[in-house]
Structure 1
Amino acid sequence: MSQAYLIRGTAALFAVLLFFAGNSAVTHAADKPNFIVIYCDNLGYGDIGCFGSTQHRTPNIDRMAAEGLKLTSFYVSSGVCTPSRASLMTGCYPRRVNLHESAKGGIVLRPVGQRGLHPDEITIAEVLKQQGYATACIGKWHLGDQPQFLPTRQGFDRYFGIPYSDDMTQRPGQPWPPLPLMEGEKVIEAPVDRNTLTKRYTEAAVEFIEQNRDRPFFLYLPHAMPGSTREPFASEAFSGKSANGAYGDSVEEIDWSTGEILETLKELGLDERTMVIWTSDNGAPRRNPPQGSNQPLGGWGYTTQEGGMRVPCLVRQPGTVPAGAVSDELCTTMDLLPTFAKLSGSFAPENRIIDGKDITPILVGDDDAKSPHEAFYYYQRGQLQAVRSGKWKLHLALPKPRGKKQPRTFALYDVVADLGETTDLADKHPGIVKKLQRFAEAARKDLGDEGHPGKNQRAAGHEPHPTPRELTR
């Protein structure tokens, strides 16, 4: 047999293998689910109809509950924006990635700050991008405003939004730049018209879905609303229309936005291929007069009470997620990274600690599905304040609790039966108290507590000479 024949034969075989491998990849890609995460800002547990609101009209969000799964013990890892979002992106507790506070000890990152999500961290977007997904972040980022910390450097093909909270605007004593709206890494409008954000985010989200209908995609839609201002923003079509002032207007516009996205999926035939997660970054903060509601939970946003860190969550994917289902198993935003990785045919990063767990059995309605979390930790900035295991939540004894003026003793609650954390059962269950104390000690060694670092913390990103994101012409 001649050498030329062998070469031609080998080339032909290689071409055939490439053909089948290519077609297999196309088929495999078509089978991958799309993922959409809709993430509200400062919206409370009781702010939507399917979680008990009688003030806000949320028919589209309520339809998600009727057509999908309602998670009633779903947690974020912090009662405030930056650390909560860091956990969603990385699958880790905020202290793990050192984004539990700003470089100067502030509760969240501020404009022109030195700290941000470390470029070496692996985000949900990066995990999915390796699987051929198109990725977009449309909305509020708040994980660092310096170029190396922006979504475009963290696995997102497209970024359209504001880099931090809607209330971080120019004011006396704060030489911040006008609130910037960014496309990629460029400021395209400053100051942005905050009344138009929800509408413009929705239009951009629909456009992204339409553009990527023929390939798997991940859309992260972190709304700026209801937001951090005492007078939230809404477009003209919704302003003054709700029964709860500007706050209600912004919630009802988010409901409209949700409906637009669901309708787009239906029109494009993507309903059964797309998992939509709808939730909030933390509970509604205390305001006078009250705006948001965390009922029937106790406490407010920015705290480690249930009302600060247990948030409404809905999951919808017709044909995969059972319709009208409810689960009270403990799940967290940290679980989304390993879960999406599993569903996309990939794995969570194996070269580092990931605190989230795969919750696929819960989402698809397996009869015996249980929470994969033996314990869940409630941190206030860098201070460990409480631990939950099963139905029990222990508020730890603290001589100097963050956010409080007086020392506090142990308090044990059954947060399945006592959502408001009203009846302390510590005296009746000393064994449970000791068990949760042991979990707390393990967390202190692993993640740290107050000024004491944990042995498995990782560095945050650091920019020693930050510059403002400003409009340039």
Structure 2
Amino acid sequence: MASQTPPPLLLLLLVGWSSASLQETRKPNFVLMMVDDLGIGDLGCYGNTSLRTPNIDRLALEGVRLTQHIAAASLCTPSRAAFLTGRYPIRSGMSGSSRPGVFLFTAASGGLPPTELTFAKIAKQQGYQTALIGKWHLGLNCGSSEDHCHHPHAHGFSFFFGVPLTNLRDCQPGHGTVFRIHRYLPYGTFVVVLLSAAALHYSGALPLRRGLLLGLLVLVLVLAGLTAGFVWTGPYLNCVLFRDRSIVEQPFRSENLTQRMTREAVVFMERNAARPFLLFFSFLQVHTAMFASAAFRGTSRHGVYGDAVHEVDWSVGQIMQTLGRLGLRDNTLVYLSSDQGAHLEELSAAGEVHRGSNGIYKAGKSTSWEGGIRVPGILSWSGRIPAGVEISEPVSNMDLFPTVVRLSGAAVPKDRWGLPERSRTFRKVEQQHTRPERLCLTCRVIDGHDLMDLLQGREERSRHEFLFHYCNSYLNAVRWHPRNSSSVWKAFFFTPNFYPEGQAACFHTHVCFCTPDYVTHHDPPLLFDLSRDPSESRPLTADTEPAFRSVVAAMTEAAESHRTSVQPVESQFSAEKLMWKPWLQPCCSSFRQLCQCQQEPERA
């Protein structure tokens, strides 16, 4: 019996149904963009009128703009660790107890522990092609210069084009060094004391043995020589550009680097257009030392900082155009943020102020004032997230972890309980255990929450009742959004000595520190209602706020409960893990050649 050919209309219906079904079942792509040190007040969609950011503004119009999007830390390294893992950085040992609080050497042995799970690692297990382009700043090696135990490859990124550290001043000729003299004040004090002793000795007022004095002088000369030598060789040691595990440029040249990174991102998306991918584009801009490609220099009213913001916006536009050209816009979740607020205290080598804008919010990078942790948060997904929506609920950059994990088709690992599950479990065993919090020593808490219900309007309130703000490893503030209230309370247990007049420690050292000499403790805590005072300009008291005592009591209790959930782990910021180790130094040539290699050919 002869076969019958289906009528043309039926074929069209079958093809259309198959295409629609494929579109519905295909996993979404992720394009996650993080700008370094960008202030919330630097973007037009957040109120800036003096910089041009049309591509980022368009992204906000096409999606959701978060106005209370909080970074889990106010410094690069811990904030990025929290973003990738969905956990406060103290849980993974990625917060230091003293300065600097970030990695300053490529040849340090600290880094994001291999036991931590990133959303990239889980997405890769779900069949995603994963890439990190740009800044990493979460460690490189452990025991040798090639073990790459902290490399992006070890944390789920199949492709890496970028720098393992950050954009230091040392990486650009004429911009000075990040190892400024104030970091060596102990050595300076020692030199002053030694020279004073020598003067007194030769004047006869303080007799010293000639051998001892000579030995001290030699020690000072050696220390001075090592310090000067390290500063001179810094660019060759710390300014390294990688492609996967291979060094392609050392020291790297920042000029055109954003354009090169953008081309890499475009090529990655083109090569993986037919399969699900996750791209984390991590800008080196607008971190000091400032740079901008020739096409953008002189285009803003705010010097090289504004030029760099313009170049970032251009790059975002190129990425979005590529998604549109490849027909992927309807199947891609796009996210743009900053790792912390703009750095306000930084000065160029010539004394110029290179700072962004944190809008109405107080202070900036390295503080838990709103200017240090309230960052841009834009999410867009055509057809899945409504356009032109503003959400003012408190959310965190840690929320991207469970959001990406669940959209990729995976579940948050069962050995990492979220706080609601932990509370239910604890309630079951409270009667049998006098210290139920000890049970958490066997669990790994996920602090982030899936954002999709909030973004799509199925929920009106954030799942974060409390958020905890750290200054390095010290819990210094708590944010509380009560379930039955529109208030957003914020209580400080201590604050950095920040004053806009430039007379306090933050301006003297070019960054705010968390150590006792640089902070003021508050008992009772310093309390603000951010819903009425987002600029944190009017601290409340028992006389001005009737609920002061009950609010402070609830937040103090929440802080203590949070502390009990933090299990002790090895710090990745111990002196031993932060120090430079020559056997860990990545080098594309011999040390005698100062670890130099030429720029790789740019893509056509």
TM-score w.r.t. the length of structure 1 is: 0.88
Q: Secondary structure at the match of 1:419?
A: coil
- The alpha carbon displacement at 1:28 in A equals 8.7
Aligned residue for 2:223?
A: none
Aligned-residue CA RMSD in angstroms?
2.4
Displacement after TM superposition at 1:84 (Å): 0.4
Q: Give the secondary structure class of the aligned counterpart of 2:69.
A: strand
Which digits, 9 at most, give the CA deviation of each residue in 1:27-49, with x for residues without a partner?
59952110111000011010110
Q: Return the index of the structure with the highest Cα Rg.
A: 2
1:69 touches 1:363 (CA, 8 Å); kept in 2? yes
The answer to whether 1:325 aligns with 2:389 is yes
Give the deviation of 1:240 after TM superposition.
1.4
Question: CA-to-partner distance for each residue in 1:309-338, whole Å, 9 max, x for gaps?
Answer: 110111011101100000011111111111
Residue type matched to 2:167 in 1?
A: D
The answer on 1:134 being equivalent to 2:251 is no
Q: Confirm or deny that 1:212 pairs with 2:272.
A: yes
Supply the distance in 2 between the matched residues of 1:167 and 1:223 (Cα, whole angstroms): 13
1:25-82 per-residue CA deviation (whole Å, 9 max, x = no partner) reads x959952110111000011010110011122100000001111100011111111100
Q: Which residue of 1 aligns with 2:240?
A: 180
**Aligned counterpart for 1:88 among listed residues 58, 83, 86:** 83
1:243 to 301, 304, 307: 301
TM-superposed CA distance for 1:406, in Å, is 3.8
Offset of residue 461 of structure 1: 10
2:419 match:
none
Decide which structure has greater helix share.
2
1:370 aligns with 2:461: yes
Tell me, in whole angstroms, the C-alpha distance in 1 between the residues paired with 2:286 and 2:495. 32
Q: CA deviation at 1:399?
A: 11
Contact in 1 for aligned 2:96/2:572 (Cα 8 Å): no
* Aligned twin of 1:402: 514
5+ residue gaps, structure 2? 1-17, 142-147, 172-176, 178-227, 348-352, 417-444, 482-487, 498-512, 590-596, 598-604
Distance change in 2, residues 1:445/1:386 (3 Å):
same
Which among 64, 70, 75 is matched to residue 69 of structure 1?
64
8 Å contact from structure 1 (residues 30, 215) kept in 2: no
2:166 maps to 1:47: no
Look up the match of 2:527.
Answer: 412
- Aligned ranges for residues 231-270 of structure 1 at < 5 Å? 232-270=290-328
Q: 1:186 to 1:101 in 2, by over 3 A?
A: farther
Cα drift, residue 178 of structure 1: 5.0
Corresponding residue SS for 1:116: coil
* Alignment-derived partner of residue 584 in structure 2: 467
- Contact 1:149/1:461 (8 A) holds in 2: no
Cα drift, residue 298 of structure 1: 1.3
- 2:495–2:519 contact (8 Å) kept in structure 1: no
Q: Retained in 2: the 8 A contact 1:233–1:250?
A: yes
- Match in the other structure for 2:602: none
Q: Provide the C-alpha distance between the structure 1 equivalents of 2:541 and 2:560, rounded to a whole number of angstroms.
A: 18
Tell me whether 1:284 sits opposite 2:342 in the alignment: yes
Structure 1 residue aligned with 2:505 = none
Give the Cα separation in 2 of the matches to 1:280 and 1:197: 19
Q: Residue in 1 aligned with 2:330?
A: 272
Please give the alpha-carbon distance, in whole angstroms, between the structure 2 residues aligned to 1:55 and 1:45. 14
CA contact (8 A) 1:36 1:276 kept: yes
C-alpha contact 2:336 2:378 (8 A) present in aligned 1: yes
Match runs of 1:288-437 below 5 Å: 289=353, 291-352=355-416, 353-366=445-458, 368-390=459-481, 391-397=488-494, 402=514, 404-409=518-523, 410-427=525-542, 428=545, 429-437=548-556
Q: Which residue of 1 aligns with 2:100?
A: 106
Cα separation, 2, equivalents of 1:214 and 1:398:
50
What is the rounded CA distance, in whole Å, between the counterparts of 2:50 and 2:413 in structure 1? 43
* Aligned partners of 2:94 and 2:573 also within 8 Å: no
CA distance in 2, matches of 1:376, 1:399: 19
